[in-house]
Amino acid sequence: MVNIPVIRWGEEYESLETQELIHHATGEVIGTQSMANGGLITRDMRKAQKARDTLKQFSIDELVEKMGKAGDLFVNGTLSIGGSEQTPQDFVVQQSATTGLPEHMVELGMSKNAFVMNNMGRIIDSLTRGLPLDILSKGWGKEDRGIPVSFQCQTPILAAVLPSNSPGVHTLWLPAVPLQIGLVLKPGQKEPWTPYRMFAAMEAAGIPKEIWCLYPGSGAEIGSAVLSKCSRAMIFGSKQTVDNYKGNPKVQAHGPGFSKILIGDDCVDNWEEYIDLIVESIFINGGRGCINTSSIWASRHTEEIAQALAEKLGPVEALAPTDPNAGLAAFTIDGMATAIWDSIKDDLEEDGVTHVTAQYGDRLVEKELCGYIRPTIVHCKSPENAIAKKEYMFPFASVVECPEDQMLRTIGETLVCTGITNNESLRQQLIDCTDIDRLNLGPVPTTKLNWLQPHEGNIIDFLFRNRAFQVPEELL
Amino acid sequence: MSDANQEQLAQQVTDAKARLDAHTYEMVQWHFHESTGSPFWLQKKAELSFDPLTEVQGFDDLKKFPLFEDEWLRGGPVNRWIPKGLEGQPTFVFETGGTTGIPKSRVVIEDHRLDYEMFSETLPDEYFPKGANWLMLGPSGPRRLRLAVEHLCQHRGGICFCIDLDPRWVVKVIKKGWMEHLEEYKKHCIDQAITVLTAGHDIKCMFATPKLLDQLANALEERGTSLPEIGITGIFSGGTEFTPQWTRYCVEELFGGPAEESGVYMTPTYGNTLMGLACSEPVTKENKYKITYHAPQPRAATEVVSFDDPNELVGYGETGRVKLTTLTKELFIPGFLERDEAEREEPHEMYPWDGVSGVRPYHVFAKSTTVGVY
């Protein structure tokens, strides 16, 4: 059995409080994790500068190379986790067991993380727009055109309060290490696996373990301690979490994406061509991501689109996580699936809302220790229907009837928008729409990521300040 | 434990139970007799299906009463709680809760003093020297704790310095999500404490809530000093956040080691406005900082009962809801389910009756409980 310790600047710390890691379907105890208390973080953060000093003993290029090795080890290596040897297969089984993700999705997540680690040099080059990397180490340098430029590091460490339900988010904090910034992570209570395997892989690849702190613990206590004691922190949570930290330069809050597909009047008569793309955008990775589509907007044919999506997604069943065909992840928190479904049921009562997947049987599947919700497609006669702007952590989408000229005024916050149109005027409006973060112009799934582009805020802008800087000519 | 010691403990347990039974009988006679009882209990007596004066002979007979509902403590007139036998004496009213709505009130004449004088007997003089001055780093306002700590200090011959701390405002700030305000309020409290501690008052002992103790120790370090350096030798603290891990953290990281090395001794307590103060068995690294509390029996008793049946004790080491009984001349509470759960512990030679360990918020309520700085 795995016993996951707290990690304090690379050193293991066994807490007197532990929590069992339990298989979501069988109830089997597969490990324990030490639970940190908030005070430990306050104490440890006094030594945070040491993490950056340690990493600065290596150049960014050297760290990029080590990250590549760590990526290989992450995917292929047998690593020491909590006093036990963990093979890649052990990792897959353990993560699936506690998070409810099907095993093949865990494997996919592993390869995504490894891709980012293996391509860190290109990713940093893209994020910095080709900035000479020693400028980030030294704090200043000279641009090609001879002008001094300064990127001042804002923190010796990057902290992150991580979720239990979406192992994909780990790619967001990975660039910190080659940028010579230490890591302070609070793993999700059901997903300590990725951060601990990353820690082990990086240590095995020659990155000093002293740059790491890992604090399993309660969200309220450890989450708030991390956010209040660290000068730069990411948090993953609900819309309320995002709203709470809006405008706080120390916190980058990631929440629901409300990602959408908009079909212009010029393309909508050919809607059948886009059904597979829409299905992929809703369904891939269990529909859990903020980049999964939660609504499709068009001025006509919406009922037919909804029906076509329902035909493809409605019959999907909740399969065992070991089944290679499993497309749904379990809700592992007691009562969560039922609570979500109850909330959806209330919204379905509204005039103008039709539950199109109802014809394919019950959506809520309650198991003894967990629950599933099968893919759900809803048709909305109007954007005013409350469910048109809802997002859930399973394959769920509303197909919303809305005149084209009202769409961009109505869609609201949108992390990823795929605009399917050849209408130049609409394309320009999509480009100008400030509610949209990542924009795909043309038939690209909302879930298709280009790793060489920033996701929801550039980490360089978050960790460094590009400021004015002057030196006498002879120092240039 | 040797056989002889076990025998001796068994005898102590029997004697303590006999004392509890006798005390229960005496208190029930007091609270339900027309000449001495409080208007509240005399009125309740009429609603009971049994006569407490004849049918309660010992502690186990208290099960005949319905569970005490703390909602009864809301609102006035608070005089209905004053036993006729104590009428006319100077009376305090203490409150709990009250962030929104009407708080629960308890009238007190001298119970808080008696409880803390008993507690005083358990404090080691080496670390809580007689005559030493104290700092009360906890809630002010209509709280029993505030006056009780001051009395404890005075009872031991010292003078108690206090800070202003409004826990109701803290809970409101947390509920509003004003985390920066919360941090500032904590700093405001700690600034007051450091001002007192550095003003030449020769303070050696203190009460502190766990969160404020943590904050104070860190703030002192940021100023280049520490709790031992500033002269603190004895700390008494309490609350459900007082876990073995937290205690270990304090000892190892805030104080710089166990009392014999750092010179700082901390004792946990468990209590509330209704019960008084339950004391802890000695807490050591060797027993993994396990914290076991024993109520100040016979004035109050704690039991660990089944989640399904409040009249059924769980087995030793098993988990259940904490049930409280208070039996003083000022207050009669025949079985009240606390908002906490815990494990039932065996009697101890210092406290030969059941104890409770692992006290934490009752899991059903825990999700909605807001714990602030207090």
Give, for all 476 residues of chain A, the pLDDT tens digit. Answer: 899 999 999 999 999 999 999 999 899 999 999 999 999 999 999 999 999 999 999 999 999 999 999 999 999 999 999 889 999 999 999 999 999 999 999 999 999 999 999 999 999 998 888 889 999 999 999 887 888 999 999 999 999 999 887 767 888 999 999 999 999 999 999 999 999 999 999 999 999 999 999 999 988 889 989 998 999 999 988 888 888 888 889 999 998 999 999 999 999 999 999 999 999 999 999 998 899 999 999 999 999 999 999 999 999 999 999 999 999 999 988 889 999 999 999 999 999 999 999 999 999 999 988 999 999 999 999 999 999 999 999 999 999 999 999 999 999 999 999 999 999 999 999 999 999 999 999 999 999 988 777 666 789 999 999 999 998 888 87
The answer to whether the beta carbons of residues A276 and A298 sit under 8 Å apart is no
Query: Which band of pLDDT confidence, cut at 50, 70 and 90, is reported for residue B374?
Result: very low
The domains of chain A, with CATH numbers, are 2-255+456-467 (3.40.605.10), 259-441 (3.40.309.10)
Q: Express each pLDDT in B12-62 by its tens digit.
A: 999 999 999 999 999 999 999 999 999 999 999 999 999 999 999 999 999
Asked if the bond preceding B77 is cis, omega within 30° of 0, the reply is yes
Contacts of A228 in chain B (CB under 8 A): 179, 183
Where do we find the tokens 């039922």?
Answer: A338
**For residue A411, what are its two tokens?**
């869609």
**So what's the pLDDT on residue B371?**
40
Closest listed residue to residue A160, CA positions, set A188, A118, A194, A180: A188
Identify the CA nearest to B276 among candidates B155, B114, B121, B124.
B114
Whether residue A42 lies within 8 A of chain B, CB to CB, comes out as yes
Count how many residues are written for chain A. Answer: 476
Q: Which residues of B touch A224 (CB under 8 A)?
A: 179
CA distance B345 to chain A (A): 19
Q: How far is B298 from chain A (nearest CA, A)?
A: 33
Mutate which: B216, B245, B248, B359, vs A, most A CBs within 10 A:
B245
CA distance, residue A252 to nearest chain B CA (Å): 16
Quick one: which H or E segment has residue A344? helix A336-348
A39 interaction partners in chain B (CB closer than 8 Å): 214, 218, 246, 249-250, 253-254
Contact B218 A40 (CB under 8 A): no
Question: B243 vs A16: CB contact, 8 Å cut-off?
Answer: yes
CA–CA distance, A411 with A446 (Å, rounded to integer): 15
DSSP single-letter state for residue B4: H
**Closest CB from B183, B214, B288 relative to A39:** B214
Domain residue spans of chain B: 3-366
A45: nearest CA in chain B? B218
Q: What is the largest CA-CA distance in chain B?
A: 65
B323, B302 contact by CB (below 8 A): yes
The per-residue DSSP string of A290-325 comes to TTSEEEEEESSSHHHHHHHHHHHHTT-----TT-TT
> Which residues are paired to A251 by β-bridges?
A233
- What CA–CA distances, in Å, run from B201 to A118, A400, B196? 62, 71, 7
ipTM: 0.81
With contact defined as beta carbons under 8 Å apart, do A392 and A165 qualify? no
Q: Which residues of B touch A (CB under 8 A)?
A: 177, 179, 183, 214, 218, 243-246, 248-250, 253-254, 288-289
Taking the mean position of all CA atoms in its chain, how far away is CA B153?
16
| Whether A180 contacts A52, CB under 8 Å | yes
Closest partner residue to A16 (CB to CB) among B179, B214, B244 is B244
Residues 220-259 of A with CB under 8 A from B: 224, 227-228, 244
Residue B214, min C-alpha distance to chain A (Å)? 7
d(CA B51, CA B64): 10
Using the beta-carbon criterion (under 8 Å), do B288 and A39 form an inter-chain contact?
no
**CA-angle at B173, arms to B169 and B177, nearest 5°:** 170
Which residues of chain A have a CB within 8 Å of the CB of B209?
A: none
- CB < 8 Å to A227, chain B: 179
Bridge partners of A396, per DSSP, are A376
Contact by Cβ (8 Å): A46, A392:
no
Chain B: nearest CA to A5, how far in angstroms?
14
Query: What are the residues facing A259 on neighbouring strands?
Result: A293
Rg of chain A's alpha carbons, rounded to an integer?
A: 23
- Cβ contact A287:A101 at 8 Å: no
Distances in whole angstroms, Cα of residue B310 to Cα of each of B147, B298, B303, B317, B321: 32, 20, 9, 17, 8
For chain B, give me the number of helices (H) and strands (E)? 11, 13
Within 8 A by CB and 6+ apart from A418, the residues are A260, A261, A262, A277, A281, A293, A440, A442, A443, A444, A445, A446
CA A147 centroid distance within chain: 37
Q: Which top CATH class is B3-366? A: alpha beta
Which residues of chain A does B175 touch, with a Cβ-Cβ cutoff of 8 Å?
none
